[in-house]
Structure 1
Amino acid sequence: MTTAAYTSHLPANAGWFARAEAWLDHKGKGAWIAAMVLGFIFFWPVGLALLAYMIWSKRMFSKSCRTASRHHEGRKAAWAAMKPSGNSAFDAYKADTLRRLEAEQEAFEQFLERLREAKDKSEFDQFMDDRERRAKAEADESENA
């Protein structure tokens, strides 16, 4: 994976610390813990500094570093999509496109619901037919015996 995948939110002149932090966040909590352990092994003040940083930045007790950063990026992208661009023609086009997409999504969800109902009905009809056949077979069997 390229560095652009996890450093896209950083400024172009970000230092080595910011790039390292973004890389560790991308790899997850395990990478942070491994870096801390290696820091303790090679030079204990580095491990201690990493532990302090992880506690201070709440990386130690959060669910996952990746989840938090992805959630933040998604929220930022959603907010950016809703902001007006300043170009009224583009904003009108964007609003029209969003309305159209919402209508298509609603129509698709209704289609899926009808599809589920049809599948449920066909499965129920098949169950009832099988049940009727079994009942007839049992009745024939009891008459012949």
Structure 2
Amino acid sequence: MNETALLRPAWTPLTIALMVIGFVVFWPLGLVMLAYIIWGDRLNMSRGEWKRSAERAFGSCKRNMRQAAEPMASTGNAAFDEWRRSEMERIEAERRKLDEMRAEFDRYTDELRKARDREEFDRFMRERNNGNSGGTSQD
């Protein structure tokens, strides 16, 4: 099955229109679209690789923002402070669990993609070999 993307890095009417609109609305958007049209085919990373790359680039920012958002000062009510601390620990444990599940799902989708690619390659090789075995070899 041949799949084509609606927005691919090529000089199509859609990408040209988006580039022009980008320049009209806010010129850096037009530049980004122009760069995508010219160099977008070199950005052939999978979705999981993009997520991991973004996590490496912005992970420390997220952690710092989360720590800055935590209130450090005591309210003066020991029971409330204890409850708040236990809830924050519970939420953090749930966040870690969700991060692990996301990573597991990314690994799963990567394995599915690899299996599909392997199947398509094997099918290609079978068809190629079947086509060459029936005729004369060309040198």
TM-score by length of structure 1 reads: 0.45
Larger gyration radius, structure 1 or structure 2? 1
TM-score by length of structure 2 reads: 0.47
Structure scoring higher RCO (CA < 8 A, sep ≥ 6) equals 2
